[in-house]
Amino acid sequence: MATTTFFRPLLPPTVTNPELELYIHRLSQFLAPHFRLLLRHLSNCARLFWMIGESLTESSKNYSSLFPAPQQLNLSPYSLPVPVEEQVKLCTRKSKEKIGGEDEAVVPQMKPGFDPSKGGRPEFYFDEGAYPEQVDWIGQKNQIDAAKAAGVKQIVLVGSMGGTNINHPLNNIGNANILVWKRKAEQYLADSGIPYTIIRAGGLQDKEGDIRELLVGKDDELLETETRTIARADVAEVCIQALQLEEARFKALDLASKPEGTGTPTKDFKALFAQVTTRF
């Protein structure tokens, strides 16, 4: 009755019922082979996991170059991916001074000497490294190339409406053709082969989202209407939905919203994207 000792500790020491002892004995005889088989399987599994671990360790030595390290996927606006250590250096005060300070790196600067009392319009310029051609074209192109090399499955790119009008006021700021370079990057993405969604937002507003009816269009048609603005929160929501819905892939759309209190707040984003038929 050696197998009985496996179950005997489960019972209080005062239990001496012969029938119960016989039941425990028979139960032990029945279960013992199954426990031995279970232990054998566990032993085999442990050996298999050890072999897999050894194989992966050896393979990683040979194939690690095929998979970029996480820090290599951090993207710089102006160049190909740079190591984290270099990005830390770029965040120092000295580096920020070189590119125009804390908040001035990617916005136009007003040329000194403008006097509003004399009429006329101010003139603008961009700091070196912050021209739209460098940021909106070269920077985005490098990011698209890096994403493609890393195997990114989809890119959602937020642009601006107005790109069909070469004389749009935004293009005249610093004579930098902001929308021209944005449009060039959008075309590059559309031709890249990566699944994409291009969202050309209207005038951005710092208002609550999810309470307006959203409108989609093409070729700046919405700019000819009274509904040319959209809350930043709604743009963010559309971006998230675009990553989840097949109907949003390989499409480009203009995005605006009706004024709050008119229309029905958009909830069915699948239907919203289904309205879009343009690839660029």
257 is catalytic: no
Instruction: Report the alpha-carbon distance of residue 16 to residue 8 in Å, rounded.
Output: 11
Q: What residue has token string 């743009």?
A: 235
Interior CA angle at 260 toward 259 and 262, to 5°? Answer: 75
Place of tokens 């830390």: 88
* Residue 62, H or E segment: helix 18-63
Q: What is the β-pairing status of strands 203-205 and 229-231?
A: parallel
Tokens of 11: 């019972």
Q: Give the span between the Cα atoms of 56 and 196, in whole angstroms.
A: 34
By the 10 Å C-beta count (0-12 exposed, 13-18 middle, 19+ buried), 202 is classed as: buried
43, 55, 95, 160: the active-site residue: 160
Q: What does the DSSP 8-state code read for residue 2? A: T
* Residue located via tokens 């989840």: 244
Q: Which residues are catalytic?
A: 160
